[in-house]
Amino acid sequence: MINRDRILAEFLELVQVDSVSGQERAIADLLAARLQELGLEVEEDRAGAETGGEAGNLIATLPARGPERPLLLVAHMDTVEPGRGIKPVVENGIVRSAGNTILGGDDKAGIAAILEVLRVIVEQELAHGGLEVVFTIGEEVGLIGAKHLDTGRLRSSMGYVLDSSGPAGTIVVQAPTQDKIEAVIHGRAAHAGINPEDGINAIAVAAHAVSRMQLGRIDEETTANIGVISGGKATNIVPAYCRLEGETRSLDGGKCRAQTAAMVEVLEKTAAQFHARVEITTTTLYPEFKLDESHPAVMLAKKAAERLGLVPQLIKTGGGSDANILNSRGITCVNLGIAMQKVHTTEEFIRVEDLATNARYLLEIIRMMTA
């Protein structure tokens, strides 16, 4: 039923529409038109207006053909940089970018799978319990669209997010919480050549603090990183200012908070030791989730994979997705692998066959839910 050539053509079209985070207007308009052509009722919410973006989340519904049992399908519209002017290349059954941009399979491979499944359902007049489709904005910059989505307008109690690495049959049942750490160290300026001893080097204070932190892999569930450091004005000035940005993640919320607290303590003690001052802000970006393997959403995904001859793999992941937010709002959502590889790099690629398999897998989930 799945048309391999059609899903490839649509995927190639989608990735050539620029849609970096905050600038999703063009892709939102295209997708709204496609969904309406398929007979779905489409609305756009105010998530963009509320967050300074060009477009909001798209929320579309396809009325049930048979007993009602609504199911939510989710993918995100935005991509990371460098994501402008993407030129996809198809060679030997593999789709990649020309090499100077990402490809955008994260998450347009997920969008393509959902659109293809909707086409097959409408064309073949297949039975289903009602489908709700949400295409979100700003996923790559903190799950912004999902956070501003009014889930009260959705009727589904469970669903599937198509936004994980791993082949079709990969079923994410556990994902971490993440804290963002932002710190500004205030030292004291002085001339670097005449009276450096009168200054307090904020960059040096930051360096001492970072060297005292436990970073990287903390344990099997927890990671920590300082990823951005900036400061100073000129080489002949002892820098009075330094900014650090970092994060902690853990499958265990308590461990994440403890790691964040430990890093904050190091910053505070180091600043005090060097008579500097530090301002620190910590923000929990999203909560963790863990799904029981016996939950219907997990069991359905597993059985559908087996029916297609795929190997179901229930995994934990170190990355967040819209599933984190939706699970925290009471809609049980599994994140499915869609075989995107080397995402967020200019070496990103996906196999043409995987594009089709993703759609076949999602269609089988819907068919089995209706059976």
Q: Report the side by side order of strands in the sheet with 349-351.
A: 88-91, 94-97, 349-351
- Helix locations, 84-143, DSSP H: 105-124
Alpha-carbon distance of 237 to 234, in angstroms, equals 6
Catalytic machinery residues: 78, 139
Identify the CA nearest to 108 among candidates 76, 60, 61. 76
Stretch (H or E) spanning 351: strand 349-351
- Helix locations, 165-226, DSSP H: 202-211
With a CB cutoff of 8 Å and minimum separation 6, the contacts of 368 are 300, 303, 304, 307
Q: How far is CA 268 from CA 189, 202, 281, 301, 308, in A?
A: 20, 13, 12, 47, 55
Instruction: State the helix-helix crossing angle for 352-370 and 296-307, rounded to 10 degrees.
Output: 120
Residue 198 near residue 190, CB atoms below 8 Å: yes
